[in-house]
Structure 1
């Protein structure tokens, strides 16, 4: 069992159209057929028709303030921007679960996420070798209008999947069992440093996405180098640079995660503290300050709602600038890593071309063969003086 959270969204109709139809075609036209859909089902909805279910869930999410008022709950809080939760459950290729078993697994996963009383649409697909089912859940509770808290949802699904496999009598993912055991023992689970970053959209937005390697197509002068030797040297130079490249991005990712967590915690603490202070006169005076005009000061004492909303908007703008500055800093660090990679790779290419040119020169010398020096035997010197061809006479 492999649970996978595909993410949060704003449109129930969009994700329902994707799950209820075939995969998109290469020309990006929306397919009209639904041959890959095996069966559909709903939870906590007054209909079993999937298209109508998507519209009902959208209406429930839109009526969240009215549901809160009818339930007698607090009217405050932010508007839920992404009420759609989309995740999938996949079985192994050698497994053949029926509809009853899939439905039971869906109910267990919804209970693990705390969404057993929420509206959900279930779509089973038959277009792959491994059986899998898609779940589209509404984060808004139809009874209270409150949004479900999905903190640590991946860990909750991981623990549920481990228990589900134990009930089936066979553990298929040993690594998940080890990681959950380490978490229960309070130990840290070390991720693979070479895997791709998780927050891919944010990395692309902030410029931290590693670009595709622009490997050289050939040396500057192919006629003067040994191409086979150059290819070997170029591959070695790229492997050496690529290891450092991914290590640098992994370290940057680890640092970015820590800094983003600290920033969000600091901003949330500031927001909660100012919310508490805005409930008292002294707190409102501390927020606005005595340098404000008399009208604003009187309004702050009386607790006018527009003034309270004013400082909230100002705080949100300030927090937005903080997040933008942090993202810009991470983007500059990523570009610095890419700059060093290009420099080292260029240096490796120059060394590879020089070495390949030397190999070509050696092969040329070896093809011509060694230079042969003709050895002329030396004539024996006469025993007597030989002048002008005359000899001693006996």
Structure 2
């Protein structure tokens, strides 16, 4: 069993159209066929027609303030921006679960996420070798109008999948079981041999593609500037941003890896020291002096197991807080880098627009000069003045 959360969304109709039809093709982005759909079902909806489920769930999400008021709560609060939860459950290729088994698995996963009373659309696909089912759930509770909290949803599904495989009598993912045990013990997760740890900085750097990060603001009046020169300047600006951003995140990743290694080493030394000190009376007394709790003095002398276990839990909570602070510091540093390069990119766009405007002005001046040089100016020779008086052919001025 492999549960996978595809993410949160805003449109029930969009994800329902994807699940209830065949996969889109490059030349057909909205296919009308549904040959890959094996069966479809609903949960907590007034209709059994899958094509109407998306409309009903969207109506429930839109009526969340009214549902809160009817339930006796306040209509206030921030509006839920992404009420759609889309995830899938996949079985192994050698497994052949029927509709009933898939439905029971979906109900168990919804219960693990705290969505057992919420509206959901279930669609099973048959276009792959491994059986799998898609679940579209509404985060808004149809009774209270409140949105479900999905914190640690991946860990919830991981623990549920482990329990599901144990019920089936065969563990197919040993690493998931080991990682869940290490999570409970507060230890570092296991990774495949030769696989590089995927730090958050590397994920951010690799996931930032030009289509998402390159938000180009085109000039408003394209007819008055040289667009070719502007595109050239924008491309140079983006190349500088991409190179500098990659270098900054590489440096941050190296620094973060070093700091995380030092933190894990220091925390492991503290855990080992606590284990060594808790084995002897003098060591427990030293821990008690640090703790300064008189009522635990007798327990420290006798070496009560619950007291030592409590010390370990306190140390784990302290270590968890340290890891959270370090991760927050690295995240703030990454945001500073993003803001800095975004500001640099915008300033370079302004410079590119100014230079493109200047190029357009220079081209216009050259054109006018060239046209003026090509113009043939007609030279007009002034005629002599017409003779007057006696010069006209004789005769003078007679009165």
The Cα of 1:186 is off from its aligned counterpart by: 2.0
**1:1-394 equivalences in 2 (<5 Å):** 1-189=1-189, 192-195=195-198, 203-204=208-209, 251=254, 262=328, 325=336, 327-329=338-340
Q: Does the Cα contact within 8 Å between 2:120 and 2:135 map onto a contact in 1?
A: yes
Q: Does the Cα contact within 8 Å between 1:206 and 1:330 map onto a contact in 2?
A: no
Q: Name the SS of the counterpart of 2:123 in structure 1.
A: strand
- The more displaced of 30-39 and 252-261 is 252-261
Which whole-Å CA distance do the structure 2 matches of 1:264 and 1:60 have between them? 39
Distance 1:259 1:27, change over 3 A: farther
Distance 1:133 1:108, change over 3 A: same
Distance 1:115 1:199, change over 3 A: farther
State the partner residue of 2:239.
none
Q: Does the Cα contact within 8 Å between 1:193 and 1:247 map onto a contact in 2?
A: no
State the partner residue of 2:282.
none
Distance 1:106 1:19, change over 3 A: same
Which whole-Å CA distance do the structure 2 matches of 1:148 and 1:198 have between them? 28
Distance 1:207 1:43, change over 3 A: closer
TM score, norm. by length of structure 2? 0.54
**More helix, by proportion:** 2
The Cα of 1:179 is off from its aligned counterpart by: 0.3
Which whole-Å CA distance do the structure 1 matches of 2:23 and 2:94 have between them? 24
The superposition leaves residues 14-53 of structure 1 with CA deviations (integer Å, 9 ceiling, x where unpaired) of 0000000000112242111000000000000011111111
Which whole-Å CA distance do the structure 2 matches of 1:326 and 1:247 have between them? 11
List gaps (5 residues or longer) in structure 1: 210-243, 267-321, 333-394
Which whole-Å CA distance do the structure 2 matches of 1:182 and 1:68 have between them? 40
Q: Name the SS of the counterpart of 1:86 in structure 2.
A: strand
Q: Name the SS of the counterpart of 1:136 in structure 2.
A: strand
The superposition leaves residues 136-184 of structure 1 with CA deviations (integer Å, 9 ceiling, x where unpaired) of 0000000000000000000000000000000000000011000000011
Which whole-Å CA distance do the structure 2 matches of 1:200 and 1:89 have between them? 29
Distance 1:253 1:44, change over 3 A: farther
Q: Does the Cα contact within 8 Å between 2:249 and 2:334 map onto a contact in 1?
A: no
Q: Name the SS of the counterpart of 2:162 in structure 1.
A: helix
Distance 1:70 1:264, change over 3 A: farther
List gaps (5 residues or longer) in structure 2: 215-246, 261-322, 344-399
Which whole-Å CA distance do the structure 1 matches of 2:54 and 2:174 have between them? 37
Q: Does the Cα contact within 8 Å between 1:47 and 1:53 map onto a contact in 2?
A: yes
Distance 1:33 1:65, change over 3 A: same
Q: Name the SS of the counterpart of 2:31 in structure 1.
A: coil
Measured on the aligned residues, the alpha-carbon RMSD in Å equals 3.8
Aligned length: 244
